[in-house]
Amino acid sequence: MPQIQWTRELEIGIGVIDGQHRRIVDYINTLDASESEADRATVARVLGDLIDYTYSHFAFEEALMEEAGYEYLSVHQKTHQAFVARVNALKQRFDDGENVAADVAELLRTWLISHIMSDDNSYAPIVREKMPRIESKEQGGWLGRMVRRFFAG
């Protein structure tokens, strides 16, 4: 399968979030490359990274939406929880010995389009409006604090 390229259509215009979202494209490309040889070690690594990533990234995004006063935070959180449940179900199938590489890649492809290009785009305007200096150090160090809290270690 051809490699997916990150494009501007996938960006929501908040650099720190776009940087985190790019990892989803990396995971898809890694899984697609591993699929043919059913490389369990690679799939195990991607699943482990994905579980860590969703935990940190979703907590980060939710803190950002809360800080900006985004009114649909609880709906968005439910979507995150549903995604985590799907990833955990795939991890369970993997642990039971199945090759789930194609299914994980498919879940991530759908996620890019249905969540990142749609749900995440809908919180971006209020974050940009309420936190215009989020990417500079002037936002009271908020960004640095949150990155350290959720991504440290």
**Chain contacts with Fe ion (rule: CB under 5 A):** 61, 120
For Fe ion, give the closer residue by CB, 94 or 111.
111
For Fe ion, give the closer residue by CB, 78 or 137.
78
For Fe ion, give the closer residue by CB, 43 or 120.
120
For Fe ion, give the closer residue by CB, 60 or 94.
60
For Fe ion, give the closer residue by CB, 11 or 61.
61
Least spacing, CB of residue 33 vs Fe ion, in Å: 26
Kindly list the distances between the CA atom of residue 152 and the CA atoms of 16, 52, 135, 142, in Å, as whole numbers in the listed order. Answer: 15, 12, 18, 15
Sequence letter at residue 56? S
Least spacing, CB of residue 21 vs Fe ion, in Å: 9
Least spacing, CB of residue 138 vs Fe ion, in Å: 25
Least spacing, CB of residue 25 vs Fe ion, in Å: 15
CA dihedral (45, 54, 36, 40) positive or negative: positive
Least spacing, CB of residue 40 vs Fe ion, in Å: 29
